[in-house]
Every structure is written in structure tokens, then in C-alpha cells.
Amino acid sequence: MAGNSFGQLFRVTTFGESHGEAIGVIIDGCPSNLEVDLEFIQSELDKRKPGQSKITTQRKESDTVKILSGIFEGKTTGTPIAMIIPNEDQRSKDYSHIKDAYRPSHADYTYDAKYGHRDHRGGGRSSARETAARVASGAIAKLLLKQAGIEIFAHVSSVGQIDSPNLDLGSLSELLEVRESNIVRCADPATANQMIELIDSIRKEGDTVGGKISCVIRNCPVGLGDPVFDKLHADLGKAMLSINAVHGFDYGSGFSGSEMRGSEHNDLFVPPGSNNENKFQTLTNFSGGIQGGISNGMDITFRVAFKPVATIMQNQDSLDSSGNAASVQGKGRHDPCVVPRAVAIVESMAALVLADHWLRNRVTRL
């Protein structure tokens, strides 16, 4: 209710501030008997953790996850899974200058106005550090989805005005290999190089830049999603929009679909016999794998747009809480572009949505 839980049946609640003792997450509703691979959880966190390359923040966090409950002898027991990630490298003094001053386009002013009392250190609860808890729980959701054969793959499809060409979505594992071979996490190597160059030059200017992440979900069974309000793409959209810095979401044909005609946009069914696996595949996929809010078995595709990081290393005029002029300049350690680290977050949130709807679909029919 207060906004820190997500999902209905596979329900996560995150907690923790950027410079507090620890951040963490409870998963309530993970089915019992799921084997949990701790190394996999850690490897997912490593993709999001700070300090992993020259184009990410230099804050050093090992982001080592500790499981407190819900797993016994390597398998889930059906009871709440609690995980914590201690904060190690807080430099709260980096933030003393913003105890009273509001950073432009940050959440300092709105948190203060809403709650009347905030932990300003490192942005407190509004810091993207919270997303590490999402990745930890998303990793367990992925393990659940793996049992159902569902695969999720995201990559950086644009940085600033540099766009990746459309990918041939042949093999997600091959794309993953390419993506992880470069520090910007774009699955097209040539574009990746341009993106890295751009981010690096912007970083040197003390500036930041936005970008987009594209995601595909493959082998999703037909039937996931609960109309009329909890349509699969509506829940995916909310999940993505809840990630720090996200300003837009579309799926399938997306925004460009609004410029099309019905006769070109409709996805005709593949005539029987033309494929061997699934007679209800479609010839095109402008629907993005979802029709009427329910998955149709085709690839689910969506895009997520991130604004540029608000903390820049340049001096900015601002106000303090009394409305007096104040000047703020980024002193902490920050990302010049958030998308390379956000790939893991996008995948995690997608996994949370899918795990939830996969369970929900179990109670649909008699």
C-alpha cells in the first residue's frame, strides 16, 4: 500500500536506504521446492553493481547477498525469502552539502515535501541503490521461469542519439554472449563501440546522457496476463516505469504503431502446416506477443526509455529548503549513463512480472 511491494502472488517488498545499514528484499509467494543457485543470484547482482567499468560510478560495493530465510538445504520452503545486501562503501559526507539544498531533477524536494523528514545521504530511499534488491529477487524469479522454459533478454539499444540496428533475435544465448563482451551491454558490437566512446566523452565533460533498453521475452506460454486492468503489458509497463530515471515504455509496434493503419498492423495467423510447432503463430508481430492483455506465445518485445542521470559534475544553481539560492555540484560517485547497469534491472523487473503472472495463470480455470 505504501508503495514498496510489487506483484500479487510472487510478491516482493524492498527496503533500505543508500547509506543505511543494508538494503534488502522479502519475497512472499515463491513456490516451494525451487532449487536456488546462489552463484546465479550473485552473478546477476554483479551485472548491476557499481564500479564494474570506466563508464559506471566508482562507488565500490561487493553487493554480496545474504539469505536469511525461506531456503533450506538449497531449496525454497514456500516461506518468505529474506535477502539483505549490506552497504559497505557509503561516503555520507559526500552528501552533507545537499542536506538542505535540493538537487535539480532529483527527488530531494519532493521527498522532503511529502514526508517532512528524509535521509538525504546518497539520496536515501530514492537512490537507485534500491534496485539491487530488485535484482536479487528478480534472479530468483528467473530461476522459477527457467523451470517453465521462459527466457528474458535485454540490451542497450540506444545511448543518446546512437541507435542499435534491429537485432536478428535468433538465439538469445548468443546475443547474451555478445552483450556481455562489451561494457555498455549492447548486443551489436559496432554500435557498442560508438556508445562507449560517447559515454566516455560525456563523462569527461562532467555531463550525463540518456538511453534506451530493448527487451524480449521468449517461450512465454499462451495465457499470461489478467484483463482488464492487469494486462500483461500494463504490468510490464508499471514495472519498467517504477525503475529510477525511466520516462517511457512501449511494446510491440509501440509509439510508431500509432502512425500505422489497421490493414498493415494486423498480425495475420500463419496458415496451418506452414510451421511445425505452433499452429497459432502469426506472420508479423506488431502485437509484441500480447493480444487483449494476454500473451499469445510469440516473442514479447518492449522498449524502456531512460532520461539522463540528474547528477552532473557541473555547478548548478539551485535552492535550499528555505527557498534561498544555493549552488550544487555532484560530489558523489555517479554514472554518466545509467543504461549499461540498468539492463539487469529491466530483466529483473520483467522476471518479477512474468513469475507473478505465471502463478496467477494457475488459478484461471477450474
Q: Which of 57, 76, 137, 191 binds its own copies (CB under 8 A)?
A: 76
Q: Which of residues 93-112 bind its own copies (CB under 8 A)?
A: 102, 104-107, 109-111
Q: Is 217 in the site for its own copies (CB under 8 A)?
A: no
**DSSP helix/strand/coil, 294:** strand
Query: Known binder of ligand: residue 54?
Result: yes
**DSSP helix/strand/coil, 81:** strand
Residue where the block lists cell 498492423: 265
Q: Answer whether 220's CB lies under 8 Å from 297's CB.
A: yes
What interhelical angle do 38-48 and 339-360 show, nearest 10?
Answer: 140
Cα separation, 85 vs 160, whole angstroms: 32
Q: Which of 79, 171, 181, 275 binds its own copies (CB under 8 A)?
A: 79
Q: What is the total count of residues that contact its own copies (CB under 8 A)?
A: 149
- Residue window 306-335: x/- pattern of binding to its own copies, with contact defined by CB under 8 A: xxxxxxx-x-xxxx---xxx----------
Query: Known binder of ligand: residue 307?
Result: yes
Strands, sheet with 101-102, edge to edge from the N-terminal-most edge strand: 101-102, 316-320, 325-328
Q: Which of residues 115-144 bind its own copies (CB under 8 A)?
A: 115-119, 124-126, 130, 144
Q: How far is the CB of 171 from its own copies (least distance, A)?
A: 26
Q: Which of residues 162-201 bind its own copies (CB under 8 A)?
A: none
Select from 337, 154, 334 the least CA-distant residue to 240: 154
- Residue window 269-298: x/- pattern of binding to its own copies, with contact defined by CB under 8 A: x-xx------xx-x---xxx--xxxxxx--
- Dihedral of CA atoms 189, 311, 242, 149 in degrees, nearest 10, equals 30
Q: Which of 94, 100, 207, 299 binds its own copies (CB under 8 A)?
A: 207
**DSSP helix/strand/coil, 354:** helix
Residue numbers belonging to the annotated binding site: 48, 54, 125-127, 244-245, 292, 307-311, 333
Residue numbers belonging to the annotated binding site for NADP(+): 48, 54
